[in-house]
């Protein structure tokens, strides 16, 4: 196997982007998967995608518009998910369909070829530039700092927001901070794996880690490792098999999830409990 | 005479313009265990939320451990007031050990963004031992039975070093043996720590054994309050409280 390509700048950028996106998306994924709000990723990524399309349409840098759009989605998701008359899934479904509709309208309004719009949808890790790397690096540092400093608060909110509040943790503030940082992470990863596929990079590594450990600190580490592995193996597959990079990364993360599900001690424990 | 641990005067709570508590006045002395009964929708949980500062009255006053809740911050109050909620199903795969679930009771005291110190962990270990769960401390919380999970919630309240504990129907959906086990743990804890406890339950016999006084709520108002035996043995009152609820004991 020729590894000379690793000396190329574009590949070094791609590897760095895969590591950063793998870690940041996986950490956010741990929160949304354990809170059973996995659909939040798809909602916010589509909102970011719609924002990026609007940026293209009005001639602004797409990421500048994508971030406030994902924050807007977060600002809508939180209160809707909190209201008793809606289940969180219903609230997320309403926002998802809305952002999807806006995205398609904006794609239709963009004049000429739609290549740039499609790149935002599918991502292109092999062409990621320094500006995107800086944005991704900043969002990754933000996520890591949040997890390290507020680990115990995140743990309490993940377990039960009512109990977190009852023991004196500002659960609402922690929950909304998680949503805002999810928006930043999704925006940062938009160029790498695309608006459509970032959802998989959030959910798959975290869901795999969920099956492998009963410790939340280890879950963050395992999910990050699976996220990074998905990115690096996905890039390799994409480069050598000449396949789309975003889709390759997502498919690898899906395969890694399937392996985790097969090896899961939790699955084996449940099977043993169910046996007569 | 010592000041009440909980003192609510003429409190009114509204939700979406509809009163859920009206003209509620109660007083609970330090170290007292008080039962709270009433049919579903009577306002029992709202009353507990009034005490732990999650709900504010539109009219009237609430004082807990000498603090006026109109002036004190909610999180500040909740460091001293622990809540043991109703049982709920916990995902068996939840990444949280029993030890961590009990230590969570310290989080408000430890403070935002700070790590637990050796003393916090020692207090949590003591609480685990006091509710008899030391042998399960390293087990995932989702692997415990409903009764054991309720003991974890009680352990969390002890780790919190709260002086007031609010129990919101902790016996619901527990079998008789688990109920007896939990009640025994509660009785010991109350005796040893002298906690002020408000105990919402449909298990009237249990309340009769443990509580000094009982408050009966109906339609958001206090229907009766007084010595436990006097209230719980009043057949006419019980019939009036629960007649339209279709329950004998609730």
pLDDT digits (tens, 9 = 90+) for B134-145: 999 999 999 999
B34 has a pLDDT exceeding 70? yes
Nearest to A224 by CA among A195, A177, A185, A179: A185
User: What percent of chain A has pLDDT above 90?
Assistant: 41
A1 has a pLDDT exceeding 60? no
Mean pLDDT on B112-119: 94
Mean pLDDT on B225-249: 79
On chain A, the residues whose CB falls within 8 A of the CB of B82 are 166-167
Say what the pLDDT of residue A194 is: 81
pTM metric for this prediction: 0.87
The partner residue sitting opposite A210, judged by closest CB among B95, B104, B153, is B95
Say what the pLDDT of residue B241 is: 85
Decide if B93 and A156 are in contact by the 8 Å CB cutoff.
no
Contact of B187 with chain A, judged by CB distance below 8 Å, is answered with no
Q: How confident is the model at residue A270 (pLDDT cuts 50, 70, 90)?
A: low
On chain A, the residues whose CB falls within 8 A of the CB of B105 are 167
Mean pLDDT on A166-187: 89
Contact of A166 with chain B, judged by CB distance below 8 Å, is answered with yes
B248 has a pLDDT exceeding 90? no
Contact of A85 with chain B, judged by CB distance below 8 Å, is answered with no
Say what the pLDDT of residue B61 is: 93
Contact of B100 with chain A, judged by CB distance below 8 Å, is answered with yes
Nearest CA in chain B to A219: B95
Secondary structure letter of residue B17 according to DSSP: T
Q: Point out the least confidently predicted range of B27-41, B67-81, B228-242.
A: B67-81
Mean pLDDT of chain B: 90
Determine the distance in angstroms separating the CA of A197 from the nearest CA of chain B, rounded to an integer.
26
Say what the pLDDT of residue A95 is: 82
Determine the distance in angstroms separating the CA of B229 from the nearest CA of chain A, rounded to an integer.
31
Say what the pLDDT of residue B210 is: 93
**DSSP letter for each residue of chain A:** ---GGGGSHHHHHHHHHHHHHHHHHHHHHHHHHHTT-THHHHHHHHHHHHHHHHHHHHTS-HHHHHHHHHHHHHHHHHHHHHSTTS-HHHHHHHHHHHHHHHHHHHHHHS-S--HHHHHHHH--GGG--HHHHHHHHHHHHHHHHHHHHTHHHHHHHHH-HHHHHHTT--HHHHHHHHHHHHHHHHHHHHHHH-TTTHHHHHHHHHHHHHTT-S-HHHHHHHHHHHHHHHHHHHHHHHHHHT--HHHHHHHHHHHHHHHHHHH-HHHHHHHHHH--
B153 has a pLDDT exceeding 70? yes
B245 has a pLDDT exceeding 70? no
Mean pLDDT on A76-94: 71
Determine the distance in angstroms separating the CA of B201 from the nearest CA of chain A, rounded to an integer.
19
Q: Which residue has the higher pLDDT, A196 or A202?
A: A202
Say what the pLDDT of residue B249 is: 41
Say what the pLDDT of residue B94 is: 92
Mean pLDDT on B199-206: 93
Mean pLDDT on B63-71: 88
Say what the pLDDT of residue B72 is: 77
On chain A, the residues whose CB falls within 8 A of the CB of B152 are none
Decide if B85 and A219 are in contact by the 8 Å CB cutoff.
no
B92 has a pLDDT exceeding 70? yes
The partner residue sitting opposite B140, judged by closest CB among A150, A214, A270, is A214
B244 has a pLDDT exceeding 70? no
Nearest CA in chain A to B76: A168
Decide if A153 and B93 are in contact by the 8 Å CB cutoff.
no
Decide if A168 and B78 are in contact by the 8 Å CB cutoff.
yes
B60 has a pLDDT exceeding 90? yes
Contact of A268 with chain B, judged by CB distance below 8 Å, is answered with no
Decide if B79 and A168 are in contact by the 8 Å CB cutoff.
yes
On chain A, the residues whose CB falls within 8 A of the CB of B54 are 165-166
Say what the pLDDT of residue B24 is: 95
Say what the pLDDT of residue B45 is: 93
Say what the pLDDT of residue A82 is: 67
Task: Give the tens place of pLDDT for each residue, A25-71.
Answer: 999 999 989 987 777 777 888 888 899 899 988 988 888 898 899 88
Say what the pLDDT of residue A84 is: 55
B250 has a pLDDT exceeding 50? no
- Whether residue A122 contacts residue A234, with contact meaning beta carbons closer than 8 Å, is answered with no
Decide if B113 and A149 are in contact by the 8 Å CB cutoff.
yes
The partner residue sitting opposite A159, judged by closest CB among B94, B110, B160, is B94
Task: Give the tens place of pLDDT for each residue, A91-145.
Answer: 778 888 888 899 889 988 888 777 778 777 777 888 888 988 998 999 999 999 9
Mean pLDDT of chain A: 87
The partner residue sitting opposite B93, judged by closest CB among A149, A152, A266, is A266
A268 has a pLDDT exceeding 50? yes
Say what the pLDDT of residue A272 is: 58
Q: Quote ipTM for the complex.
A: 0.86
């Amino acid at each position: 196997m020729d590894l000379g390509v690793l000396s190329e700048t574009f590949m070094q950028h791609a590897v760095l982007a895969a590591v950063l996106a793998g870690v940041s998306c996986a950490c956010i994924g741990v929160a949304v998967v354990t809170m059973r709000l996995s659909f939040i990723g798809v909602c916010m990524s589509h909102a970011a995608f719609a924002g990026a399309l609007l940026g293209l349409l009005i001639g602004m840098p797409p990421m500048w518009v994508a971030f406030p759009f994902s924050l807007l989605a977060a600002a809508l998701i939180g209160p809707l998910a909190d209201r008793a008359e809606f289940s969180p899934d219903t609230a997320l479904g309403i926002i998802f369909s809305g952002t999807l509709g806006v995205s398609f309208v904006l794609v239709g309004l963009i004049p000429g070829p739609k290549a740039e719009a499609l790149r935002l949808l599918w991502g292109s890790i092999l062409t990621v530039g320094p500006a995107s790397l800086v944005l991704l690096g900043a969002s990754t540092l933000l996520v890591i700092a949040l997890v390290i400093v507020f680990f115990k608060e995140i743990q309490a909110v993940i377990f039960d927001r009512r109990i977190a509040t009852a023991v004196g943790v500002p659960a609402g503030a922690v929950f909304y901070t998680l949503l805002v940082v999810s928006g930043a992470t999704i925006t940062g990863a938009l160029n790498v794996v695309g608006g459509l596929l970032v959802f998989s990079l959030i959910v798959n590594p975290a869901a795999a880690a969920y099956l492998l450990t009963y410790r939340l600190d280890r879950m963050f580490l395992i999910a990050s490792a699976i996220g990074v592995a998905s990115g690096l193996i996905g890039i390799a597959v994409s480069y050598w098999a000449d396949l789309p990079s975003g889709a390759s990364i997502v498919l690898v993360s899906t395969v890694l999830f399937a392996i985790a599900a097969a090896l899961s001690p939790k699955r084996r424990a449940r099977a043993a409990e169910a046996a007569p | 005479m010592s000041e009440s641990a909980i003192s609510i005067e003429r409190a009114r709570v509204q939700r979406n313009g509809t009163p859920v508590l009206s003209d509620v006045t109660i007083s609970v002395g330090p170290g007292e265990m008080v039962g709270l009964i009433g049919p579903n929708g009577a306002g029992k949980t709202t009353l507990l939320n009034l005490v732990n500062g999650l709900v504010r009255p539109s009219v009237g006053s609430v004082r807990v451990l000498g603090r006026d809740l109109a002036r004190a911050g909610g999180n500040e109050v909740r460091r001293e007031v622990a809540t043991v909620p109703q049982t709920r199903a916990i995902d068996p795969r939840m990444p949280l050990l029993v030890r961590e679930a009990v230590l969570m009771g310290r989080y408000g005291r430890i403070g935002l963004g700070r790590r637990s110190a050796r003393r916090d962990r020692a207090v949590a270990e003591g609480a685990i031992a006091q509710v008899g769960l030391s042998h399960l401390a390293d087990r995932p919380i989702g692997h415990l039975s409903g009764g054991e999970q309720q003991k974890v919630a009680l352990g969390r309240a002890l780790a919190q070093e709260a002086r007031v504990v609010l129990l919101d129907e902790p016996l619901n959906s527990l079998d008789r043996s688990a109920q007896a086990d939990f009640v025994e743990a509660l009785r010991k804890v109350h005796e040893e720590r002298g906690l002020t406890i408000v105990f919402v339950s449909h298990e009237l016999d249990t309340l009769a054994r443990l509580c000094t006084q009982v408050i009966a709520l109906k339609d958001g108002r206090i229907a009766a309050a007084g010595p436990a035996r006097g209230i719980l043995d009043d057949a006419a009152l019980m019939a009036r409280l629960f007649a339209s609820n279709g329950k004998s004991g609730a």
